[in-house]
Amino acid sequence: MKQSIFIGYDPRQAEAFAVCRDSIRKRLNLPIPIYGLVLDKLRADGLYSRKTERRGEQLWDNISGAPMSTEFAISRFLVPHLSKGGQALFLDCDMMARCRNFAEIFEICDRSKAVWCVKHDYQPTQAIKMDGQVQTRYERKNWSSFMMFTDHVANKTLTPEVVNTLPGRDLHRFCWLEDDEIGELGSEWNFLVGHTDTNINPKVVHFTDGGPWMPGYENVPYADEWFRERDRWAA
């Protein structure tokens, strides 16, 4: 079966993207291709046409009437179209793989479900996150930060037209799916630093509030591992 990995790219977090990609590559025992989800290229290819604007340092999505904390806030939902079938994993760039064999995730996620994710019960209390970005609250917060799409028939409705017209809050709550079409992964696959139970041994760490590449976050949990990954990548 065709398999692929897509990582959200934002030029403000280019270093985080590189470390995330490298941490995965080193832990793959299969030749699974990894792609960056780059907004400018998606626009140039005619796949992303949502109207956005800059409001200071904040990117604003006009359809949603809401801020976007990253350039891939909405474009992630194009992954089923871009992958052209099979299994396609999307993950945010502020993540780091720690598991011995990252390809294990493809064995876990079968086509009985349209999307597999960690079903977080997470509602942030802070109004601002990361580098001054607005912390948006919506149903199923952070479920879409790590998603395995399968070739389930329900995902055929997630066309570029749908992605370019629906409010982001509807896409992030998986509005194109029935509840029983969403599979549940263990929390170790999307471990929210500072929020997930610390008794869990993470396979994928998610620096959702801010990562070691940002001033003021150099000492968050797992920062030492992230710096080692960065140094190996940069060597």
Give pLDDT tens digits for 29-66.
999 999 999 999 999 999 999 999 988 888 999 999 99
Q: Give the pLDDT of residue 138.
A: 60
Q: What angle do CA 204, 79, 60 make, to 5 degrees?
A: 90
Edge-to-edge strands of the sheet including 191-192?
Answer: 95-97, 204-206, 191-192
CA atoms of 184 and 188, how far apart (whole Å)? 12
CA atoms of 157 and 181, how far apart (whole Å)? 13
Q: Give the pLDDT of residue 126.
A: 56
Q: Are 59 and 28 in contact (CB under 8 A)?
A: no
Percent of the chain clearing pLDDT 90 (strictly above): 88
Give pLDDT tens digits for 123-163.
665 544 555 555 465 678 899 999 999 999 999 999 999 99
Tell me the average pLDDT across 14-28.
98
Tell me the average pLDDT across 169-185.
97
Work out whether strand 34-37 and strand 52-55 pair parallel, antiparallel, or are unpaired: unpaired
Q: Give the pLDDT of residue 127.
A: 46
> Residue 153's CB: how many other CB atoms inside 10 A?
10
CA atoms of 115 and 149, how far apart (whole Å)? 5
Q: Give the pLDDT of residue 57.
A: 81
pTM above 0.85, yes or no: yes
DSSP-assigned letters across all residues of 154-183: GGGG--HHHHTTS-HHHHHTTTTS-GGGEE
Model confidence at 164: pLDDT above 80: yes
Q: Chain-wide mean pLDDT for the chain?
A: 93
Locate 121 and state its tokens.
């019960």
Locate 114 and state its tokens.
């349209």
Phi first, then psi: what are they for 179, rounded to 5°?
Answer: -55, -40
Q: Side-chain half-sphere of 165: how many Cα atoms within 13 Å?
A: 6
CATH numbers and ranges of domains, the chain: 3-234 (3.90.550.10)
The confidence band for 85, taking pLDDT boundaries of 50, 70 and 90, is very high
Which uninterrupted H or E stretch holds 35?
strand 34-37
